[in-house]
A and B are shown apart, each in its own frame.
Chain A
Amino acid sequence: DGGITQSPKYLFRKEGQNVTLSCEQNLNHDAMYWYRQDPGQGLRLIYYSQIVNDFQKGDIAEGYSVSREKKESFPLTVTSAQKNPTAFYLCASSISAGAVYNEQFFGPGTRLTVL
């Protein structure tokens, strides 16, 4: 079964802690993305990666970090510097970031709550 997996589904964090969200895909896609969604709002891009060992900041990268050491994996770390981390985090992938019609496919998401 090809797809994108994210773990954990729910995550609780105390203020001041860093947490890492996992995203894995077995679709052989080059490009991967992290979005954040807040209630009643659209998705906002945090980071994206067009190829292994390369990634770029999106619109709201402050307080987040990523790595792309393997094609299949694009973990996101939410650091203590992120002021309002409680949100729904979605990972996506597409065949190529360079294609004009680069349909993106999403994992099931991780709900992060800061206590």
Chain B
Amino acid sequence: RKEVEQDPGPFNVPEGATVAFNCTYSNSASQSFFWYRQDCRKEPKLLMSVYSSGNEDGRFTAQLNRASQYISLLIRDSKLSDSATYLCVVNLGSTGRRALTFGSGTRLQVQP
């Protein structure tokens, strides 16, 4: 089982739609969680950190479910510019190491 798993998609949605991605992680000791956005042939950029209480930033909402070991990202009122690959990222909290483990990404294509 992969340490961080995502549905690769693609998710094809019309403009204005609401779309949600889930990501599961294997290590129950994981301590911190993030969503990054990566455009084609570009570097990943931090979209939002995911806190235990959940958090919202404009049209984007992130939730953490520790009991079921998954995090989610909800995008409301999708824009064409939201088309990208969304990377789920987890700090597995391994002893002496704070590097992050990246999922393979979920591709979103918003269509006019």
Binding site for B on A (CB under 8 A): 31, 33, 35, 40-45, 48, 50, 56, 58, 88, 90, 94, 96-109, 111
Contacts and interface: CB of A to CB of B under 8 A. Distances in A.
A103 B98 contact: no
A44 B102 CA distance: 8
Interface of B: 4, 8, 31-32, 34, 41-46, 49, 87, 91, 97-100, 102-105
> DSSP class of B's interface residues: helix, strand, loop or mixed?
loop
Given A100-B32, A103-B34, 4 more contacts: A35-B102, A100-B31, A101-B49, A106-B44
B102 A42 contact: yes
A97 B46 CA distance: 17
Nearest to A50: B98
A44 B104 CA distance: 10
A35 to B, nearest CB: 8
A56 B32 contact: no
Contacts of B97: 48, 56, 97
Given A40-B104, A42-B87, A106 B98 contact: no
